Amino acid sequence: MHATEEHVTLPDGIRLYARIVDPPAVTAEPTTVIIPNGIVYLDDFAPALPGHRIVAYDLRNRGASDAAPGARGVPDDIEDLEHLRAALGIGRSATLGHSYVGLVAALHAMRYPGAIARLVMIGAPPPDAAATYPPELAYSDGVQAAAFAELGRLQAEREHHDPVAFARAAWDALRPLYVADPANAAKIRWDRAELPNERAFLGYWMATVLPSIQALHLGPEDFARLTAPVLVVHGRKDRSAPFGAALDWLGKLPAARLLEVPEAAHAPWLEDPSVLPAIAAFLGEGGTA
């Protein structure tokens, strides 16, 4: 596989940092899989998808992309994905989104249904941010309380830490949230604490991204526009996005199927070796034409 780096300039002048992984020489034109906010996942997904061209990039206000004062959260993320496609000359493609970016990818496919041939949503939040679920569909245990208590302790001592050390300590507290088996916590390598945008993301999330998600109001006509095949991947022990969210997406999207991962949390591909082959098989079922 051959990887290149690129900064894609958007119409408003913001530059998004992208890494593009091309497959080995093949006879057929490879399909493209776009992974928004996916730089940290490349080492996991690129080897599992050797027949695809993968475009992973940092969202605005994330990673090595530009800081964007005044950004609107999800509405900007949707349009940035479309502008990036155009700037890189990407035709009809597949999109893979994890966590809240799974929601972003779905909203993009609703707005631009002709652009997306297949969609993978991993651990996506509910289509209705106000939805509540019974305990059997919303996994909870003592891990959340312990993580948040440790974050609170760190916050109280923040002035005694340099910013990078604080960010890394915060991620040490958060890693157990994203896995069902504590032994897998070390596999969560998403912090990128050396980058100022990543250190500042929690503030941007609370002030902008989360309110932009809560402001969404989707109706049947919105879901009906997402006609592409969708694979909804969800860990049954996901503490960040309740499993009931996966069932909601399954019931609302015309061509969705569910990959339930019983003994996994928010990063199911890191806990169950069957997940990546299942995603590869789904993406390989149809071309992008």
What does the alpha-carbon distance between residue 34 and residue 160 come to, in Å, rounded to a whole number? 40
pTM for the predicted model, two decimal places? 0.96
pLDDT at 288: 43
- Integer Cα distance of 193 and 163 in angstroms: 8
| Token code pair at residue 114 | 């002709």
* Residue in 23, 42, 39 with CA at minimum distance from that of residue 31: 23
% helix, strand, coil for the chain, step of 5: 45, 20, 40
> How confident is the chain (289 residues) per 10-residue block, as mean pLDDT?
91 97 76 97 95 96 97 98 97 97 98 97 98 97 94 87 91 97 96 96 96 98 98 98 98 98 98 98 73
Interval 215-272: pLDDT, tens: 999 999 999 999 999 999 999 999 999 999 999 999 999 999 999 999 999 999 999 9
Token output for 158: 């923040």
Dihedral angle over CA of 103, 120, 200, 111, nearest 10: -40
The Cα 289–Cα 282 span in angstroms is: 16
Environment class of 29 (CB within 10 Å of its CB; exposed 0-12, middle 13-18, buried 19+): exposed
Give the chain's count of helices (H) and strands (E).
Answer: 11, 8
User: Burial level of 13, CB count in 10 A (0-12/13-18/19+)?
Assistant: exposed
Domain ranges across the chain: 2-139+178-283
Residue 142 to residue 119: CA distance in whole angstroms: 33
- Fold of domain 2-139+178-283: Rossmann fold (3.40.50)
